[in-house]
Amino acid sequence: MASNAPVGKPTDMSSPRLPKVAGIDSTVPAPPHTVTPLPGVPSAASPSDAALPPGVLIQDRLASWVSDLTTLHELTERLIKTDSLDGALREMLGAGAALVGARRGMAVLEPADGLGPTSTIGLGLAHADLGTIETVPRGSGSYGRLLDGLPEADPPGSGLPDAEPPGAGLPGNSPTAPRRPARVPEPIAIRDVRTEEGLDPRHREVAARLGYAASYALPLATEEAGRLGAAVWLYDEPAEPDERRRHLIGLYGRFATEHLARLLQVERARARVATVAEELLPSRLPRVPGVRLAVRHLTGPQGGGDWYDALPLPEGALGLAVGSVYGTGPSALAAMGRLRASLRAYAVMEGEDPVAVLSDLELLLRLTEPARSATALFAYAEPAQRRIVLAGAGHAPPLVVGDHRTEFVETSLSAPLGMLTCWEAPSVELSPAPGETVLLYTDGLLRRTGDATDRAFARLHAAAASVPRADRSDPGAVADHVLRTLLPGGLDPAVEGEDVVLLAARFE
């Protein structure tokens, strides 16, 4: 973050400049040992204050307050634009360094509930430096003392429970006293590591090795959110922030903690959705002679309803399926699980006829979930004969990749399941040559590119055709190359709710 970068001579490195905002020059001169007040703040003990007319003094103080508020507004505006825990922690570290007048720092994310995620982010510190700091005994380090002391329970005999017992507030149960919010400890300032009493010798040793002389630790906690972690800023010389800087970093820290708490909830929700989606899909792909399988599944933030399946069938046959349920979230995931389980049952009973399999699936969907629609493609493969019979319902055609051809399978146009009174479409038969790979994929692979449909198909074809010859013997390498080429930046965040499924089958 350029606005938080320190400037000036080496002696200035512990006191970076705050951003210049609202026409107020917020340059912070660098003192030899202590950090100066924020820009525009007159010294409380300045002898010149008595000589200033009351109106001038009030104007100076008002200008100082406006400057402080403007700076906080700019920093919090930048913070709320972050949409990930890692990005928010890095932004908070940089802004905090400018507010307290430090050059380096670290943030530790360690929620008190133990549900994670946990991480450590550094500012001006290499990964090895963070590891060195973590060798300091936890009880001696300032951030460790903050983490171990958050949140603090009510003292015995206070009469206020930490939480309401089960059933409290229900009819017939007596009301209980409200829960007391978790108390937040004060920040910890170590003005001089060399002379601070009670520090572990390892703490002094690490400080000397990394070249810092003082630190200021702030708890990332509020009464409502509880403990999320702690932030520590490191000074090159003995120093500590003055009262005004402490006040500003305290305000900013509380706002940052609430923002981190919201991002933490979103991150945990995404992780739960991704876990449910993975559990509804095959835990491993079957091994069938004559064919090698690989799959890549990328889950969007909200969790879509894309699925895949590979099912061994009698007489060495193999059923391959991909599909997508319209919608996102838990409802789409549940519908996806039901649809996939039903398709497996129909595939076992009449897998040789993919049209019959999809017809039964469409009838079930129309009777049980009339408001739901889905796309699906089912292929009945006989690896020994290198023969595939497939049918699709509103689904994108497979792509055959080999040394001598890269082409889409010609399938007839058909409506998605649940869209018509009676679904019907002819099946298609193809015979892959030895060494060719058949790619089955969901529409999310095309939509995630952000391109129009025709261009997305053209890009997919070009990506498959550019697979290096050395990688074509490995279906996993083929799938990885296609994904890297088609989605070089990963999933496009502008396209919400779209999962990506890419199933590759290489025939020997």
Range name among 128-142, 161-175, 361-375, 424-438 with the lowest pLDDT average: 161-175
pLDDT tens string 414-430: 889 888 767 778 899 99
pLDDT tens string 395-407: 999 999 999 999 9
- Collect all residues with Cβ–Cβ distance below 8 Å to 225 and sequence separation of at least 6: 257, 258, 260, 261
Confidence of residue 45 (pLDDT cuts 50, 70, 90): very low
pLDDT tens string 303-314: 678 899 999 999
Range name among 60-64, 103-107, 112-116, 419-423 with the lowest pLDDT average: 419-423
Of 60 and 396, which is predicted with more confidence? 396
> Residue 4 pLDDT more than 60?
no
Number of residues in the chain: 508
> In this structure, what is the dihedral angle of CA atoms 345, 347, 350, 352, given to the nearest 10 degrees?
-170
- Collect all residues with Cβ–Cβ distance below 8 Å to 453 and sequence separation of at least 6: 446
pLDDT computed for residue 54 by the predictor = 67
Domain 280-507 has CATH 3.60.40.10: yes
Bridge partners, residue 291, by sequence: 288, 507
What is the mean predicted confidence (pLDDT) over 85-105?
95
pLDDT tens string 123-141: 999 999 999 999 999 888 8
Residues of the chain with CATH 3.30.450.40: 2-153+179-271
Q: How many CB atoms lie within 10 A of CB 399?
A: 23
pLDDT tens string 198-213: 889 999 999 999 999 9
pLDDT computed for residue 49 by the predictor = 53
> Residue 492 pLDDT more than 70?
no
Bridge partners, residue 430, by sequence: 388
- Residue 278: φ, ψ to 5°: -65, -35
Confidence of residue 281 (pLDDT cuts 50, 70, 90): confident
Range name among 135-139, 172-176, 470-474 with the lowest pLDDT average: 172-176
What is the mean predicted confidence (pLDDT) over 176-193?
73
pLDDT tens string 311-324: 999 999 999 999 99
Here the tokens at position 388 are 């595939």
> Residue 432 pLDDT more than 50?
yes
120 contacts 106 by C-beta, under 8 angstroms:
yes
**Strands laid side by side in the 226-235 sheet:** 119-123, 104-109, 226-235, 214-222, 188-190
What letter would DSSP give residue 432? P
pLDDT computed for residue 402 by the predictor = 94
Range name among 77-81, 167-171, 315-319, 451-455 with the lowest pLDDT average: 167-171
Of 504 and 116, which is predicted with more confidence? 504
Confidence of residue 165 (pLDDT cuts 50, 70, 90): very low
Query: Nearest CA to 145 among 186, 181, 177, 176?
Result: 186
Encode 76-99 in three state secondary structure: HHHHHCCCCHHHHHHHHHHHHHHH
| HSE toward the beta carbon, residue 160, CA cutoff 13 A | 9
| Euclidean distance between CA atoms 117 and 274, whole angstroms | 15
Confidence of residue 493 (pLDDT cuts 50, 70, 90): low
pLDDT computed for residue 152 by the predictor = 41
Query: Nearest CA to 503 among 333, 320, 358, 274?
Result: 320
What is the mean predicted confidence (pLDDT) over 23-43?
41
Region class of 249: left (phi > 0), else alpha (psi between -120 and 50), else beta: alpha
List the beta strands (DSSP E) in 372-447: 374-382, 387-393, 399-401, 406-408, 428-430, 437-441
pLDDT computed for residue 52 by the predictor = 59
Range name among 23-27, 137-141, 193-197, 412-416 with the lowest pLDDT average: 23-27
Confidence of residue 344 (pLDDT cuts 50, 70, 90): very high
- Collect all residues with Cβ–Cβ distance below 8 Å to 340 and sequence separation of at least 6: 280, 281, 307, 309, 321, 323
Percent of the chain with pLDDT over 70: 80
| HSE toward the beta carbon, residue 239, CA cutoff 13 A | 27
Give the rounded distance of the alpha carbon of 120 from its chain centre.
Answer: 15
| Euclidean distance between CA atoms 347 and 270, whole angstroms | 32
| Euclidean distance between CA atoms 424 and 147, whole angstroms | 62
Percent of the chain with pLDDT over 90: 54
Sign of CA dihedral 328, 330, 334, 335: negative
What is the mean predicted confidence (pLDDT) over 424-437?
92
What CATH number labels 2-153+179-271?
Answer: 3.30.450.40
pLDDT computed for residue 109 by the predictor = 95
Residues of the chain with CATH 3.60.40.10: 280-507
By the 10 Å C-beta count (0-12 exposed, 13-18 middle, 19+ buried), 62 is classed as: exposed
Range name among 111-115, 385-389, 496-500 with the lowest pLDDT average: 496-500
> Residue 173 pLDDT more than 50?
no
pLDDT computed for residue 215 by the predictor = 95
pTM above 0.85, yes or no: no
Of 215 and 370, which is predicted with more confidence? 215
Bridge partners, residue 376, by sequence: 323, 393
